[in-house]
Amino acid sequence: MIKKAIITILLALVTMTGLAQTKTATVTGYSPALKDGTLVFAGTGGSSHVVDTVQAGHFAYTLPVEEFTESYLSLIGEGCPNSYTLIFLRPDVTVKVTGNDCLNPLWKVESPIPEQQTLNRLIEHCHDVLTERMQMDLTNAPREKQDSVAMIWMKQQMDILPSLPVDAATIRTLLDISETAMIKKGFPHMKQLKEVEKTIAARAPKGFEEKLAEIHSYVYAKNEQQIAEELSGNETVFFKKYDDVAPENILQTILDKYKGKAVLIDMWATWCGPCRAGHKAMASMKEQMKGQNIQFVYITSPSSPPTTWLGMIKDIYGDHYYLTEEQNNYILDHFESVGIPTYAIYDTQGHQTYKNIGFPGTDVIRKELETASK
């Protein structure tokens, strides 16, 4: 009996120790405008999942947080915009978000974290144009009009950035603007962006060197012609080489290049954390399968900044395709996919034998490829 009691106490201590080592942060929210059943998505590290559903306007969730980090809050329901609230977290912090409507990116965020207070100042400065932007999203306004408002929003952010503390909030904002400037042809505020980038870099404390280098590479990014010239003659990277192929023909056009081989198609994007995690997980598997009758094919679209994409693919073994948005969306629709990463496998006869949305693990991928390559 004494021995059993001792074991029970030890197990309890182990459990308590495990709980003590699990660091978390809590977010609570309320808005009377939210409908019951509205889904609450949240997460860190570029991934999110359903953490709660709204009841009587309220929701709450807890996330594991080991250190200062960015988190994301999205609401999926009637009247909610296709956007997110950026919330900075650290262990043992409770953050409260409240509003009177469904436009959660504009809600009041009460937090003891200084970076959140910087972000609050940015949002308040751009409140009117942000409101207009989200309302246009809700009414499905033409893309040209939404883009025009987005440019005004970015200029307003750059107007105030030099007067704010240089911290994770200002660096993140500048990173988002510079990434957009790289993607959008004829970005109208490039001169101001270069001035702000120079000012922020000069004032930045230690610890932001990597982010600042990324921002600089976006602000002074190579254009599409320069990238195309750099890749000229490369037989494994196809940057905009298939722009003239009709969307309904693009998948077969790619597959025709690999007749007689098993093919793994990986639909991904540079900004997709789970996509990049899948690449890292499969690296050793691909090395082991080199020489087999298998081709790895990676497909992305203009949502991935070309310069970022070019830098990332150097470490991803396989053939890479940078397609138009229409081509990319057609392939995702063909696979009946609602998100990325999406994987599809074709056998040596060109028949699709496998499909999955989300990374299923290397064991599953290896088994399916070995079967398809026979």
pLDDT at 103 over 60: yes
pLDDT in tens, 287-297: 999 889 999 99
User: What is d(CA 172, CA 123) in angstroms, rounded to the nearest whole number?
Assistant: 13
What percent helix, strand, coil does the chain show, rounded to 5? 45, 20, 35
Average pLDDT score over residue span 268-293: 91
pLDDT reported for residue 222: 75
pLDDT in tens, 179-197: 888 878 789 999 999 999 9
User: 255 with 346: CB under 8 angstroms?
Assistant: yes
Give the SS3 label for residue 4. Answer: helix
pLDDT reported for residue 250: 97
pLDDT reported for residue 13: 45
108 vs 6, higher pLDDT: 108
User: What is d(CA 329, CA 257) in angstroms, rounded to the nearest whole number?
Assistant: 21
pLDDT in tens, 215-250: 998 898 877 778 888 888 888 999 989 999 999 999
Label the pairing between strands 319-322 and 294-300.
Answer: parallel
151 vs 273, higher pLDDT: 151
pLDDT in tens, 341-356: 999 999 999 999 999 9
352 vs 338, higher pLDDT: 352
Place of tokens 């490369």: 234
Nearest to 345 by CA among 369, 367, 362, 312: 369
User: What is d(CA 314, CA 85) in angstroms, rounded to the nearest whole number?
Assistant: 33
Rounded to whole angstroms, the maximal C-alpha distance in the chain is 79
CB within 8 Å of 162: residues ≥ 6 apart: 196, 199, 200
Q: Using 50, 70 and 90 to split pLDDT, how confident is the model at 21?
A: low
pLDDT reported for residue 1: 43
Q: Using 50, 70 and 90 to split pLDDT, how confident is the model at 320?
A: very high
43 vs 19, higher pLDDT: 43
pLDDT at 11 over 70: no
pLDDT in tens, 35-85: 999 999 999 876 678 999 999 999 999 999 999 999 999 999 999 998 899
User: Does pTM top 0.95 for this prediction?
Assistant: no
Lowest mean pLDDT among 76-85, 104-113, 197-206: 76-85
pLDDT reported for residue 111: 98
Task: Return mean pLDDT, the chain.
Answer: 90
pLDDT at 3 over 80: no
Q: Using 50, 70 and 90 to split pLDDT, how confident is the model at 4?
A: very low
pLDDT reported for residue 5: 44
Alpha-carbon distances, residue 146 vs 12, 60, 149, 180 (angstroms): 56, 32, 5, 14
pLDDT in tens, 88-99: 999 999 999 999
Q: What is the 3-state secondary structure (H, E, C) of 187-242?
A: CCCHHHHHHHHHHHHHHCCCCCHHHHHHHHHHHCCCCHHHHHHHCCCCCCEEECCC
* Phi, psi values for residue 51, rounded to 5°: -115, -15
Q: Using 50, 70 and 90 to split pLDDT, how confident is the model at 125?
A: very high
